[in-house]
Structure 1
Amino acid sequence: MASKPEVKDLLEAGVHFGHLTRKWNPNMAPYIYMERNGIHVINLYKTVAKLDEAKEALKKIASSGRKILFVATKKQAKDIVADKVSKVNMPYITERWPGGMLTNFVTIRKAVKKMAAIDRMKKDGTFNTLSKKERLQVDRLRAKLEKNLGSIADMTRLPGAIFIVDTMREHIAVKEAQKLNIPIFAMVDTNSDPRPIDYVIPANDDAGKSIEAILGEVTSAVAEGLADRKNDKQEEKAEAKETAEAPQEEVVAAVEEAPAKEEETITEVETVVEETPVEVVEEPKEAPAVAKAEVEDLTKIEGIGPKAAEALSNQGINTYAILAKTDAEKIKEILTEASSRMAHLDPTSWGKQAQMAADGKWDELKEWQDKAKGGVE
């Protein structure tokens, strides 16, 4: 279990320093402790509480197998994000944010696939057949793509969440994530608007030490979620192996003992019946047991985020089988009533995906999602 962040550690890292009072955003007032020397001071107790909440949510997303995209293009955050995020094998953007990175993800995937095509050319010898000028142009193109998109080469579908350092600088990323209803986690300084952010972490987003302190806590939570997912998979494999290797002798012995036990039971029943008085008292009938449906992770369906899954679960749609039988129009009404921000979601394909998940056809579902919009073409 990762240790909880301490106010003392955040204070030493300078997380509490905000911007000049004249540059503040009034919506950040709940997170401001005081004003000193013309600078706002952030309430670190609220920062710790919000950071704990964000870490728990990120851990859950990581354990579900979804990717978390980290975005930080400002100079003092680039190296810190690249270093810490690469250790947990998550995608990140530290160069210019490519417009349509999320809303036009299919086109971005084409650019990433172009890098793979150039690499294949170099391996099969096609690259050497080009002229010197063409080879130079291809090398430059490969270097440019690697610089801008190399860190997201393994992100074959839309991320389950996005973490942003400095929401004012990355306002385009915020708008794209909002449009697709992707949960937004962010370090928000006193000059930024916290309203569009789902998980606000009030903190100094300009100092390197502050960014490193927050990123260290966040990536440790992601690493913990990935470790939980790995342990769960190992336990499932162990259980499957034990079931497959069940001793045949126990099964045979159980079959042989069954008739003998049945005869003993019949004899005991006959004896009890003979000794029982004539007076018969009717016993109350037991109420039939109602099997409680196990709640399943609906976020594995392409297009369903944590908030949409929660809205559906509140209406009793908490398994793949139920989702597969629910009309798309009804789902649309449930989402719109839960939040106007989910009104744009298109649930027409959710039933088909849910049916594949209910039937256990995970490979087929993954292949379908990769071919769908937002995945590999």
Structure 2
Amino acid sequence: MAVEVKELLEAGVHFGHLTRKWDPNMAPYVYMERNGIHIINLYKTAAKIDEAGAALAKIAASGRKILFVATKKQAKDIVAEKAGEINMPYITERWPGGMLTNFVTIRKAVKKMASIDRMKKDGTFMTLSKKERLQVDRLRAKLEKNLGSITDMTRLPGALFVVDIKREHIAIKEAQKLNIPIFAMVDTNSDPRQVDYVIPANDDASKSIDKILTHVTSAISEGLAERKAEKEAAASSKEEAPKAPKAKKAPAKKAVAEEEE
């Protein structure tokens, strides 16, 4: 869906940080200064949302996952809700160090969660002592809190979407090391050079975060719909394709003896 500058304005996307806290590399995205606060150029924000949305839709259409990262209070619930709606993984608690660079270990922790669940289903859990059951339950709860949203992420994500790159600097560094594309809401106090797809925006207000995430997840949803349609079309064309008739065997040629005169 097209991004209207008016709706971004109403959501307060244009409010940057105090001018003394700004990062000079954000200069191209700053429209003006008002009462000691930088105002973000919303026409550039709208264009960048469209650009990022198109790229994210392509990644989603290719079947890769997009990992959302936002551990700040204002963004946690919004990201969990929006990413959950499109079935994408997200981290809203503390970023687990090595989440990307040591992905094998993270997958082991996720498998541990699954093994505990199996223990509870097959009755093995009840054979443990009361103390052991309590310890296992605590471990399961801790793993669920930190990794519950990434249980379906069996391989490294195709991209990262970050809210507040200063706060999530560890996630940014890990993604950079692995050349994973980074999409992010970048406020005036951050360095946009760390990000592949910059969306200049107020990353502190919940209304602003909600507005940007709505557009981003909508674009991803379109990519997922495109992938689903392609799969269905391929499946139906396979079913409708007529079976090639079996080639008939050529009759054996009879040897004709020629008489010499």
Q: TM-score range by the shorter chain?
A: over 0.9
**Normalized per residue, which structure has more helix?**
1
Separation in structure 1 between the aligned mates of residue 146 and residue 61 of structure 2, nearest angstrom: 28
TM-score (norm 2): 0.93
What's 2:82 paired with? 84
Instruction: Give 2:58's match in structure 1, choosing from 22, 41, 60.
Output: 60
Question: Which residue identity does 2:42 align to in structure 1?
Answer: L
Structure 2, unmatched stretches of 5+, are: 249-261
TM-score (norm 1): 0.65
Larger radius of gyration: 1
What's 1:265 paired with? none
What's 1:349 paired with? none
Instruction: Give 2:212's match in structure 1, choosing from 214, 231, 234.
Output: 214
What's 2:105 paired with? 107
Instruction: Give 2:228's match in structure 1, choosing from 221, 227, 230.
Output: 230
Deviation at 1:244, TM superposition (A): 4.0
What's 2:133 paired with? 135
CA RMSD of superposed structures (Å): 1.3
Separation in structure 2 between the aligned mates of residue 145 and residue 5 of structure 1, nearest angstrom: 38
Deviation at 1:245, TM superposition (A): 5.4
Separation in structure 1 between the aligned mates of residue 48 and residue 78 of structure 2, nearest angstrom: 21
SS across alignment from 1:195: helix
Tell me which stretches of 4 or more aligned residues in structure 1 moved more than 3 Å: none
Deviation at 1:147, TM superposition (A): 0.4
What's 1:153 paired with? 151
Structure 1, unmatched stretches of 5+, are: 256-377
What's 1:197 paired with? 195
Matched residues, number: 248
What's 1:17 paired with? 15
Report whether the alignment pairs 1:163 with 2:153: no
Instruction: Give 2:238's match in structure 1, choosing from 214, 237, 240.
Output: 240
SS across alignment from 2:198: strand
Deviation at 1:217, TM superposition (A): 0.2
Superposed CA offset, 1:314-353 (max 9, x none): xxxxxxxxxxxxxxxxxxxxxxxxxxxxxxxxxxxxxxxx
Separation in structure 1 between the aligned mates of residue 28 and residue 38 of structure 2, nearest angstrom: 12
Question: Which residue identity does 2:129 align to in structure 1?
Answer: S
What's 1:361 paired with? none
SS across alignment from 1:201: strand
What's 1:42 paired with? 40
What's 1:5 paired with? 3
Question: Which residue identity does 1:165 align to in structure 2?
Answer: V
Q: Work out which structure has the larger RCO, using CA pairs closer than 8 Å and 6 or more positions apart in sequence.
A: 2
SS across alignment from 1:143: helix
Separation in structure 2 between the aligned mates of residue 145 and residue 217 of structure 1, nearest angstrom: 31
Q: Percent identity?
A: 79
Separation in structure 2 between the aligned mates of residue 9 and residue 61 of structure 1, nearest angstrom: 26
Superposed CA offset, 1:156-202 (max 9, x none): 00000000000000000000000000000000000000001000000
Separation in structure 1 between the aligned mates of residue 148 and residue 154 of structure 2, nearest angstrom: 13
Separation in structure 2 between the aligned mates of residue 55 and residue 8 of structure 1, nearest angstrom: 19
Question: Which residue identity does 2:124 align to in structure 1?
Answer: T
SS across alignment from 2:190: coil
What's 1:181 paired with? 179
Separation in structure 1 between the aligned mates of residue 179 and residue 205 of structure 2, nearest angstrom: 30
Question: Which residue identity does 2:92 align to in structure 1?
Answer: T
